[in-house]
Structures are given as structure tokens and as C-alpha cells.
Amino acid sequence: MNATAGNAAQPRHFGAVLTAMVTPFDAQGRLDLGAAQRLARWLAGRGHDALVVAGTTGEGSSLTDEEHSDLVRAVAQAVTIPVLAGTGSGDTARSVALTRRAQGLGAAGVLVVAPYYTRPPQAGLEAHLRAVAGATRLPVMAYDVPLRTGRRIAREVLLRLFREVPNLVAFKDATGDPAAAADLVAQAGAHFDLYAGDDALTLPLLAVGGVGLVGTSTHWTSPVFKELIEAFGRGDVQRARELNQRLLPSFAFASGEDWVFAMSAKAMLRTLGLEVGDCRLPLPPAPPQLAVQARQVWQQLNG
């Protein structure tokens, strides 16, 4: 990496440190809007530039449409930073409906994941994203996570979308392919902001033109990420590397064989005294060792 001060890409819409916020549930598994507002305010106070609600980590696929609307409205009312609504799904009509609704609920933008499970061909992926973006005046962040959706969005499709769809302004890249991200930025970088969708790849993506991340470990690491991005932006790559190394235990903790991101983030938040409840099935209750690991990771981060 060879950055100099002033050469780092700057976010144009949502800021640099975004968190895919968990969705709190109560002991009976019901949506807890009060806890969601408290969590949102707590996150906003820790340097987050924006929040994403009802995304993958927010268990958006386990929410009813009514719960989705209530959550977006409640969080948008609780904070002054931008709130993006996760409105992607495996059904284009539902994604369009959720997107239209989000516009009247206080959302500042929407995050749209590629349709999952059906694995549509590239023509279907492109038509889906055009339809959703065309349903709103809000800025749209496209999200490519082929490990979950089963189909990667082709570079040619992304290039057309970013060049031709005016409100498609950002890309959450969870493909694990920094070389492809560099090529995309080189060809269409003036049309969109690149965000890391994998916390551990934030520094590599900054090096190829990224502006920040939509993170999960950022629930508890946001001040460190803020400093890392600022250090890189002023050309202090050595400091950015040191901060990235400090984050390694958090990256390892975020997902494992017996838990996924929503489970680890909630375990950490409970460790920090925030009531967020367990996840909904099909995500099971957190295994006991997760709380032990959460305490260890927090102590390492702040030791």
C-alpha cells in the first residue's frame, strides 16, 4: 500500500463507518423498539456515521413487513445520523414495496442485497436492482455477497448500473475480491462509493479506492475503525496497519463454526450491558462460550 495524504477516497453520501445494526428482541422473541432506539443512540454516540437496519445482521429476513416498517421508523426517529433500511429480498415485488415504504419512514437511503436463493441469471440481477432503485428517490447502496445469495453480480452489470442509474450511489462489497474491486473503481469510481462488506477487508479495500465499511464488529470497534480510516486518509499507512492488527481478534470472533455475526454482535452488546435479546430462529441461542469470548475480545481491544 502506498498512500499519501489527500489521496484517499472520500465518502460522498453516508460517511465512512456504518454499522449493520442488530435487531433487539425481548424475552418472548418480540421486536423491542425501545431497545432498538437505545442501541441506535448508543451507537451514534460512539462515532458511527450511519446505521443500517433490517439487514442480514439485523435479521431482516426474519421480520414481518410491519415489523420492518416499525423498526425503520423507530430508529430513524431516535438518531440524527443517516439510517439506511435493508430492503433487499429474494422477491423483487417485496423489495420494491419495502423500498417505497422506507422513503416515508425517515430512511436516508436503502441497502439492497442481490436476490437470494433463486440464483437468477445476470439479466435477472440487473432487472431486480433497476426495479428497486427505480422505486425510490432515496440513494441506494447495492450489496453483493455471493456466499449468501449464491450468485455474484457480474462486473459488466455493475458498470452499467452505476453509470446509468442515478440514485445507485454506493456498493457494499462482500465478494472477498479486492482485485475486482480495484478494477470496478478504476472503471466507474466516479459514479459510486465503495464500502467493505467484510470488516477484515476494510484496509485492503481502502487501498484500492474504498471509502469505509458497513461493519458488524463495528458495534464495538467503531472508534478504532474511525482512527484506522483517518490514518489511512492522511497517508499514515503504518498506523493504519497497527490498528488493523489490533482489530484481528474482533474479526476472528465475529463469525465461527457455532455462531454467525448477529449472534456474536448480540453477545458482545450483552457483555457491554445493552439488552438486545437473542436472535430468532433459524439462528439459535448463543452458546455459553460466546459470552466468555466476548469478554476476552473486549479486554484485548481495550487492554
> Residues forming the annotated binding site for pyruvate?
57, 214
The answer to whether the beta carbons of residues 57 and 89 sit under 8 Å apart is no
Q: What CA–CA distance (Å, rounded) separates 144 from 173? A: 6
Q: What CA–CA distance (Å, rounded) separates 163 from 106? A: 27
Q: What nine digits make up the cell of 26?
A: 425481548
Task: Give a yes or no: residue 265 inside a domain.
Answer: no
Which among 172, 195, 226, 266 is annotated as catalytic?
172
**DSSP H helical segments within 45-176, as ranges?**
65-78, 92-103, 122-133, 146-149, 155-164
pLDDT at 4: 43
| Amino acid occupying residue 106 | G
Task: Give a yes or no: residue 3 inside a domain.
Answer: no
Please list the residues that pair with 173 across neighbouring strands.
144, 196
| Amino acid occupying residue 185 | V
Count of C-beta atoms within a 10 Å radius of residue 11:
19
The answer to whether the beta carbons of residues 163 and 157 sit under 8 Å apart is no
What sign for the dihedral angle of Cα 61, 263, 149, 18?
positive
Pairing of strands 168-173, 212-215: unpaired
pLDDT at 8: 73
User: Comparing C-alpha atoms, which of 226, 237, 189 is closest to residue 1?
Assistant: 237
Q: What CA–CA distance (Å, rounded) separates 105 from 84? A: 11
pLDDT at 7: 60
What total number of domains does the chain contain? 1
Q: What nine digits make up the cell of 160?
A: 452499467
What sign for the dihedral angle of Cα 228, 82, 95, 254?
positive
Q: What nine digits make up the cell of 86?
A: 435493508
pLDDT at 248: 98
pLDDT at 236: 97
Question: Quick one: what percent of the chain has pLDDT higher than 90?
Answer: 94
Q: What CA–CA distance (Å, rounded) separates 269 from 264? A: 9
Q: What CA–CA distance (Å, rounded) separates 22 from 289? A: 20
Cα 221-224-226 angle, rounded to 5 deg: 105
Pairing of strands 50-53, 83-86: parallel
pLDDT in tens, 32-66: 999 999 999 999 999 999 999 999 999 999 999 99
CA–CA distance from 114 to each of 99, 149, 150, 154, 292 (Å)?
A: 14, 7, 9, 11, 35
Task: Give a yes or no: residue 278 inside a domain.
Answer: no
Respond yes or no: is residue 266 known to be catalytic: no
Task: Give a yes or no: residue 273 inside a domain.
Answer: no
Supply the range of the domain harboring residue 48.
17-234
Which among 143, 195, 226, 266 is annotated as catalytic?
143
Task: Give a yes or no: residue 141 inside a domain.
Answer: yes
pLDDT at 85: 98
Task: Give a yes or no: residue 262 inside a domain.
Answer: no
Q: What nine digits make up the cell of 248?
A: 484481528
Q: What nine digits make up the cell of 184?
A: 470496478
> Residues forming the annotated binding site?
57, 214
Q: What is the DSSP string of 240-286?
A: HHHHHHHHHHHHHHHSBTTB-HHHHHHHHHHHTT-----PPTTSPPP
Task: Give a yes or no: residue 275 inside a domain.
Answer: no
User: What stretches in the chain show pLDDT beneath 50?
Assistant: 1-6
Task: Give a yes or no: residue 276 inside a domain.
Answer: no
Respond yes or no: is residue 172 known to be catalytic: yes
Q: What nine digits make up the cell of 66?
A: 410491519
CATH number at residue 190: 3.20.20.70
The answer to whether the beta carbons of residues 88 and 111 sit under 8 Å apart is yes
